[in-house]
Structure 1
Amino acid sequence: MRDFLPADKARRERVLAVIRERYRAHGFDEIETPVVEEYARLHSGIGGDNEKLAFNILQRGLDADAIRAGADDPARLTDLGLRYDLTVPLARFYASHRAELPSVFRAIQIAPVWRAERPQKGRYRQFVQCDIDIIGDASSRAEAELLVATLDTLDALGLEGGSIRINDRRALDGMLETFGFTPEERPGVLITIDKLDKIGPEGVATELRDRGATPGAVDAFEAFLRRPATLEHNPFGERQIRKALPEGVSDDVVAHLVGIGEAVAASRGATDIPLVFDPFLVRGMGYYTGTIYELAHPSVSYSLGGGGRYDGMIGRFLGQDVPAVGFSIGFERIVDLVESEESGGAASVVLVHDRDVPVGELLALKAALVGEGSRVRLELRTKNLKALLERATADGYTAFATVGDGTTRTGLELKPLA
């Protein structure tokens, strides 16, 4: 969990403002949910490994004996927890407010979440997520809207050239069924497949055998991985999708993916769309039921965001299934890639004043500049004026003026800061 100095905070807010503006331009509306949710909801088995990283909150009023008695069972001691993502709170929000929302609801959530991570570069215990979700639309249009809005936002941040890897959990499941993996062993098999980029086909096959997976299925999968075309990074289209999958995967799944690609192409007015079909993209969240995707940029080797369809989640809270799909930008990774820009429009001014200038005169000068749209800071002149101005520049100020007793607005000379 980190503190942010003024310049860092201003940079973050500028990036957030662009993200909010682009999301709203695409028809999404911002909501807000509490930072805490019920323990049972956060630990209902739909959050994957993130449930293990949740910060839990002790029940109020427990005495030492009660704490000792429940030491081996956190559920007896806690009734609330800090949210570890924004999707579980959104599902609860929709179930609570469905009657007040449109039949197809497009939501923005931009807020901090908490996970008990081991802190390291790019991983923090408190971080901001920027989510857009569409609830109530089962068609490929929903995914296409999310992908187009995300790519547009990336472009608006000056990160042109991004692409999205896309797959479908149903295609993955169909693939594993074709090879002969049993339903019980498939979750573990997916964990291993998710390591393909790191350990390669041979490492995947070895780990699957070490897991005790069905030998014939492992042999069939290994042979498929060793096909020359299997691990190619293909552009997006029906031919490429079918080429990358074994025979037997549902035609409906392929048609859904193709529909997404066609809609994205139409929206962006191009045939060369920034989508890449990756039949081994897994994503670890247990609530995904269909399409899944990750955002990539050529400047970095890691993903900048991702998401997918989670049609089964809201039904747990509402009692009936409602289609839902979302995309989350990894803000902490994005903000480090966005180039700093000078503030446009009116100046940000530092008024360096002598000690004997009356307070009324200072505030009148400040009010006049603020009224013109400037951002204004008052600073008492020091012996080391250079250091004062360097600090102001670091804080984002673009101009300064010196103020003595009797200085008026017309006599104020603004000078640029280097």
Structure 2
Amino acid sequence: MPSAHCGSVCESSRRRSGRPSAPRPTWKDSCVASVNPPRGMRDFLPAEKARRERVLAVIRERYRAHGFDEIETPVMEEHGRLHAGIGGDNEKLAYNVLKRGLDADAIRAAADDPSELTDLGLRYDLTVPLARFYATNRGQLPPVFRSIQIAPVWRAERPQKGRYRQFMQCDIDMIGDASSRAEAELIVATLDTLDTLGLEGGSVRINDRRVLDWMLDSLGFLVEERPGVLITIDKLDKLGPAGIVAELRERGATPAAVDVFDAFLHRPQTLEYNAYGERQIRKALPEGAPDDIVAHLVGIGEAVAAARTTDGAEAAIPGDIPLVFDPFLVRGMGYYTGTIFELAHPSVTYSLGGGGRYDGMIGRFLGQDVPAVGFSIGFERLVDLVEGQTDAASPAVVLVHDRDVPDGQLLALKAALIAEGSRVRLEQRTKNLKALLERAASDGYTAFAPVTADTTREALEVKPLA
């Protein structure tokens, strides 16, 4: 069998010898570079794959219970669509696919313009494909379309703990509803999903990109410097007020505006608790916040509060729900046009998901704006918080058989148990039976049964795996 490091050795020896570079080694050459998956991508063993699928099944079931319907889009989209200026920094992380049939001369001729080399790319999120999907299929969809998308996406990230180049996204979106009810439906469905997964206590930080624009304008920041100012403001949790002000000065932001912002951050505040609602929102902003935007945010809270009321009360107040207005929540996606939110849980310091309103994106394809808002759960972060659990509704049995048991007998026993609703695996008995059963338990099996040449279905003794 060839060495797993053979490929890199072969390539190194070619460079040292000064021989012309040959094509990369392949399996046919019995000389390959590595057996590891590409950096930032992962293999999943059966137990971990089963755990991920259980969590995904819960997410799908809860989303469907809230009236959302699952769709599927291609893993690739046209290069121009993925680089249309609506994906923010993620466009820089897109994996592009080389055009078919390019020869060396064509590649050299297009070397200064990478867009001439590619016509497709792997999707870096699910929102851009959804916008294209809606524009394509609008005539077959209801006036208000509630979609589920659960699928992998790809970004050329720098791999690190919790950040991968291929990862799963779980999105719900509402297209065609401009009212605050749309955001409320998304938030209620997401919190319900967290609760069902055993992660009670989740909360949602909420803001509005229109509020951010108004606030920066009222503080005196110039339009052209606002993108950089928002990047700095987004670091408030890490740098604190003093660090934010210092970085704004280093950026060369308008000095008078920085002074006003500094004074706003250090303004005297009472320690009274204000539940989510108009008072909390207005106290967190400079005076004069636009009434229509505040009313939209308040409406979200009132609708979510009503949905989360389970004690039969006739009315609910926004303080009954885990919503927190955060005037400095930014979120970096360039397509957000209104409400933005992030999902938090007290067990971790990072967000478990987020989303917002992107009313302008679909108009890029249709020529007319269509209201749209979405919420995405960060599945890779979420799945690590969900404790492992077996599917009690589906027994899983390992039939541990002797070597001399006929194949027909084994398959007949297996078929009988499957017909009764069990999941069944055949395993030949080994000297170390304990290790065999431990491996089966780690793969999600809950019981085993010894099988000899004389065993019938009636005589089969199923024992629990402790």
Sort the TM-score into its range (normalised by shorter chain): over 0.9
Q: CA deviation at 1:230?
A: 9.8
Q: Does 1:404 align with 2:452?
A: yes
Partner-residue secondary structure (3-state), 1:120 = coil
Q: Does 1:147 align with 2:195?
A: no
1:230–1:167: structure 2 CA closer, same or farther, 3 Å change rule?
A: farther
Letter of the structure 1 residue corresponding to residue 325 of structure 2: F
1:69–1:229: structure 2 CA closer, same or farther, 3 Å change rule?
A: farther
Letter of the structure 2 residue corresponding to residue 248 of structure 1: G
In the other structure, the counterpart of 2:92 is 52
Partner-residue secondary structure (3-state), 2:125 = coil
Q: CA deviation at 1:231?
A: 11
Structure 1 runs, 4 residues or longer, greater than 3 Å off: 228-235
1:406–1:379: structure 2 CA closer, same or farther, 3 Å change rule?
A: same
Letter of the structure 2 residue corresponding to residue 335 of structure 1: V
In the other structure, the counterpart of 1:276 is 324
Q: CA deviation at 1:213?
A: 1.2
Q: CA deviation at 1:342?
A: 2.5
Q: CA deviation at 1:232?
A: 9.7
Of 218, 221, 235, the residue aligned with 2:275 is 235
Partner-residue secondary structure (3-state), 1:313 = coil
**Between Structure 1 and Structure 2, whose CA radius of gyration is higher?**
2
Of 348, 354, 362, the residue aligned with 1:300 is 348
Letter of the structure 2 residue corresponding to residue 63 of structure 1: D
Q: Does 1:340 align with 2:380?
A: no
- Residue pair 1:134, 1:325 contacting (<8 A) in 2 also: yes
1:142–1:337: structure 2 CA closer, same or farther, 3 Å change rule?
A: same
Measured in 2, the distance between the counterparts of 1:228 and 1:34 equals: 53
- Residue pair 1:234, 1:277 contacting (<8 A) in 2 also: no
Q: 5 Å matches for 1:204-353?
A: 204-229=244-269, 235-269=275-309, 271=317, 272-353=320-401
Mean alpha-carbon deviation: is it higher for 68-77 or for 381-390? Answer: 68-77
Q: CA deviation at 1:234?
A: 5.5
Measured in 2, the distance between the counterparts of 1:191 and 1:68 equals: 37
In the other structure, the counterpart of 2:465 is 417
Q: 5 Å matches for 1:4-403?
A: 4-229=44-269, 235-269=275-309, 271=317, 272-403=320-451
Measured in 2, the distance between the counterparts of 1:70 and 1:200 equals: 46
What is the TM-score with the length of structure 2 in the denominator?
Answer: 0.88
**How many residues align structurally?**
418
Q: CA deviation at 1:290?
A: 0.3
Partner-residue secondary structure (3-state), 1:184 = helix
1:43–1:231: structure 2 CA closer, same or farther, 3 Å change rule?
A: farther
1:393–1:266: structure 2 CA closer, same or farther, 3 Å change rule?
A: same
Measured in 1, the distance between the counterparts of 2:139 and 2:376 equals: 26
Q: CA deviation at 1:229?
A: 3.5
Of structures 1 and 2, the one scoring higher in RCO (CA 8 A, sep 6+) is 1
Partner-residue secondary structure (3-state), 1:337 = coil
Structural RMSD (CA): 1.3
Measured in 1, the distance between the counterparts of 2:226 and 2:452 equals: 76
